């Protein structure tokens, strides 16, 4: 734990905050892409400690949250129809509200839905349930994709016939590009996700600095990492530079994890994907290549399109685009709480609304 505590030292944090205040003179709209950054920033009260000219905007970096309403409803319809199927997924997906139901409620009604901590668990599940079809409901970014790809490769090697993957994976750089192209939200620089970049490499953001003039800093998730990253980014903005810089050097390199990239490319190819709140972004998803088509749940099963209806009153879409903060939604902390979530951003441990709620201020 020493390695973690070292990056949470209060005196050092206050020192870096002081340095940010010293150099910051102009307006800076900074988007942190990753939900884990959003949580760290909220947990340590960083947003309120910054000078008012620096605005932190939370981006679409929570995999559960960006999964479209259509996809959420599609899997609910699927588990209702297919009774000989085990759906394996990550815990947060069970509570995401669809139109009138959740996977958690379908589970209580008899569908076989199981929470896993690793996609590899789905492989064991397939082996121990030979009479059933196991579908791994895969959400996640470039961080999750390599393990899912490795699961498919293992299944191929072992000749597993009763496992498939519904790939809803999303890719980070195309979403950043789409936000800048859309122009709805003003962004002066990005705090880039540490672990996604550990896989794809910091070089993947090159186009943001060259074509869009957007400075980027790849930062870690502990408070000192986030603050150092912010300091580096504010310095770039103040000096009019737009470069890619790495704060999280103990994990992140320019080329990334080449082996993980290789596994992803072996199994997946880029495809258009629908993001909640943003819509279809070209080449922002991962679909299973034809060579592994027998593991593609969309090919194996008839999966009807789900209702593309957002929960009534839910503003998750605007939150995900960075147009509003959660407290700008009338449902926030009133009709929508972690116990009774209306939208996915309140459900997921990486969701922006969940972060704002969990670390909300104390009103005496």
Partner 1 sequence: MTIEKKGAGEILLAHGGGGLLSRRLIEEVFLNAFSNKYLAPLNDQAVLSVNRSRLAFTTDSYVVNPIFFPGGDIGRLSVCGTINDLAVGGARPLYLSASFIIEEGLAFDELGRVVKSMADTAREAGVEIVTGDTKVVERGKGDRLFITTAGIGVVDDSVDLSPSLIRPGDVIIVSGTIGDHGIAILTHREGIRMEAPVESDCAPLHSLAADMLKASGGGIRAMRDPTRGGLSSTLNEFAGSCMCAMVMDEDKIPVLETVRGACEILGFDPLYLANEGKLVAVVSPDAAPPVLEAMRRNPLGRDAAIIGAVEAKPGGKVLLETSIGNRRIIDMLSGEQLPRIC
Contact positions vs partner 1 (CB under 8 A): 1, 4, 8, 10, 13, 43-45, 95, 100, 104-105, 107-109, 117, 223, 337-340, 349, 358-364
**Residue 313's CB: how many other CB atoms inside 10 A?**
12
Rounded to a whole number of angstroms, the minimum distance from the CB of residue 260 to partner 1 is 19
Rounded to a whole number of angstroms, the minimum distance from the CB of residue 91 to partner 1 is 9
Reference 86, options 133, 16, 139, 34; nearest CA is 133
178/331 with CB nearer partner 1: 331
Reference 162, options 88, 256, 80; nearest CA is 88
81/109 with CB nearer partner 1: 109
In the three-class reduction of DSSP (H, G, I as helix; E, B as strand; rest coil), residue 28 is classed as strand
159/361 with CB nearer partner 1: 361
Residue identified by tokens 């320019």 is 254
Reference 345, options 325, 316, 305, 323; nearest CA is 316
In the three-class reduction of DSSP (H, G, I as helix; E, B as strand; rest coil), residue 100 is classed as coil
156/333 with CB nearer partner 1: 333
77/237 with CB nearer partner 1: 77
Rounded to a whole number of angstroms, the minimum distance from the CB of residue 342 to partner 1 is 11
Per the CB < 8 A criterion, the answer to whether 63 and 71 are in contact is no
Rounded to a whole number of angstroms, the minimum distance from the CB of residue 230 to partner 1 is 15
**Residue 181's CB: how many other CB atoms inside 10 A?**
11
28/346 with CB nearer partner 1: 346
Cα 77 to its chain centre, rounded Å, is: 24
- Please state, in angstroms and rounded to a whole number, the distance separating the CA atoms of residues 23 and 9: 22
Q: Which residues contact 60 (CB under 8 A, 6 or more apart)?
A: 33, 66, 175, 179, 275, 277, 278, 320, 321, 322
Rounded to a whole number of angstroms, the minimum distance from the CB of residue 340 to partner 1 is 6
For 77, left (φ over 0), alpha (ψ -120 to 50), or beta? alpha
Rounded to a whole number of angstroms, the minimum distance from the CB of residue 9 to partner 1 is 9
Tokens standing for 221? 């998730």
134, β-bridge pairs: 86, 163
Cβ density class 249-259: b for 16+ within 10 Å, e for less: eeebbeebbee
Rounded to a whole number of angstroms, the minimum distance from the CB of residue 110 to partner 1 is 9
122/281 with CB nearer partner 1: 122
- Please state, in angstroms and rounded to a whole number, the distance separating the CA atoms of residues 83 and 239: 60
Rounded to a whole number of angstroms, the minimum distance from the CB of residue 95 to partner 1 is 6
- Please state, in angstroms and rounded to a whole number, the distance separating the CA atoms of residues 149 and 131: 24
Rounded to a whole number of angstroms, the minimum distance from the CB of residue 223 to partner 1 is 7
302/339 with CB nearer partner 1: 339
* DSSP 8-state secondary structure symbol assigned to residue 293: G
11/157 with CB nearer partner 1: 11
């Amino acid at each position: 734990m020493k390695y973690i505590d070292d990056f949470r030292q209060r005196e050092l944090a206050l020192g870096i905050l002081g340095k940010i205040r010293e150099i910051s003179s102009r307006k800076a709209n900074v988007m942190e892409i990753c939900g884990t950054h959003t949580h760290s920033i909220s947990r340590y009260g960083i947003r309120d400690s910054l000078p008012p000219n620096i605005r932190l905007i939370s981006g679409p970096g929570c995999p559960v949250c960006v999964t479209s309403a259509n996809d959420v409803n599609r899997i609910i319809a699927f588990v209702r129809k297919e009774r000989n199927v085990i759906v394996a997924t990550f815990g947060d997906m069970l509570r995401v509200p669809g139109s009138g139901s959740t996977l958690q409620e379908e589970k209580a009604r008899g569908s076989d839905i199981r929470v896993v901590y690793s996609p590899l668990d789905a492989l064991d599940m397939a082996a121990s349930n030979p009479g059933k079809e196991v579908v791994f409901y895969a959400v996640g970014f470039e961080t999750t994709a390599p393990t899912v790809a490795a699961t498919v490769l293992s299944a191929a090697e072992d000749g597993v016939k009763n496992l498939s993957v519904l790939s809803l994976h999303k890719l980070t750089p195309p979403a950043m590009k789409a936000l800048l192209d859309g122009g709805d939200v003003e962004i002066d620089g990005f705090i880039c996700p540490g672990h996604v970049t550990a896989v794809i490499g910091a070089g993947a953001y090159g186009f943001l600095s060259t074509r869009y003039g957007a400075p980027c800093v790849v930062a870690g998730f502990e408070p000192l990492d986030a603050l150092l990253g912010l300091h580096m980014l504010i310095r770039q903005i103040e000096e009019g530079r737009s470069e890619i810089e790495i704060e999280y050097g103990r994990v992140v390199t320019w080329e990334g994890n080449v082996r993980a990239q290789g596994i992803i490319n072996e199994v997946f190819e880029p495809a258009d994907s629908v993001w909640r709140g943003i819509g279809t972004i070209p080449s922002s998803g991962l679909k299973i290549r034809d060579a592994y088509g027998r593991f593609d749940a969309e090919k194996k099963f008839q999966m009807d399109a789900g209702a593309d209806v957002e929960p009534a009153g839910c503003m998750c879409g605007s939150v995900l685009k960075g147009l509003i903060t959660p407290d700008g939604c009338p449902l926030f902390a009133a009709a929508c709480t972690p116990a009774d979530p209306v939208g996915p951003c309140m459900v997921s441990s990486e969701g922006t609304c969940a972060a704002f709620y969990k670390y909300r201020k104390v009103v005496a």
